[in-house]
Amino acid sequence: MTKRRSRTSPSQSTQVQADNSGILPMFLISIAMIAGYHFFLAPSGVAVANASQQGPANNIVVIDTKTVLQGFMEKMQDEISGGATYTEGEIQASGADFAAEYMRAIKKYRDDGYLVIDKQYALGVPVGSEITEEIGKALSLDVKATPDPFQAPQLD
């Protein structure tokens, strides 16, 4: 078998060359479009940073349920130590009332657009996001927020 070489006429090679010459302008137009998008339409790094600070993450609050429950238990113990007597049914009703009031206090935050998370499930809590003390005040409890484990130690 012999290999045949096909010969191209000068007009065919010119045509191929003309087709390749359109690549450079298309490439330059593509570069210009991408650069235009990045300079004029794409959000800047500052805008992206500001958007992340204004996003849904700012609508997250954290509550330490264990601390609030401990505050309720201490309040009940103080009342009993002070001479108050409760039947088992009254203690159960008091606990049910507390639970309902607790859920109503949390519901206010939810209705205002906040996501409420129990602190035991949060690995890192942004400063100002904890509402444990506010919920305690709403429930007439004396509770303090637990210390932030990521806070720098205080030097005395």
Model pLDDT, residue 58: 72
Q: How many CB atoms lie within 10 A of CB 66?
A: 13
Predicted confidence band of residue 147 (pLDDT cuts 50, 70, 90): confident
**Does domain 56-138 fall into CATH 3.30.910.20?**
yes
For residue range 108-126, list pLDDT tens digits in order: 999 999 999 999 888 888 8
- Structure-block tokens of residue 65: 């349920």
Query: Shortest CA distance to 63 belongs to which of 154, 155, 149, 144?
Result: 144
pLDDT over 60 at 55, yes or no: no
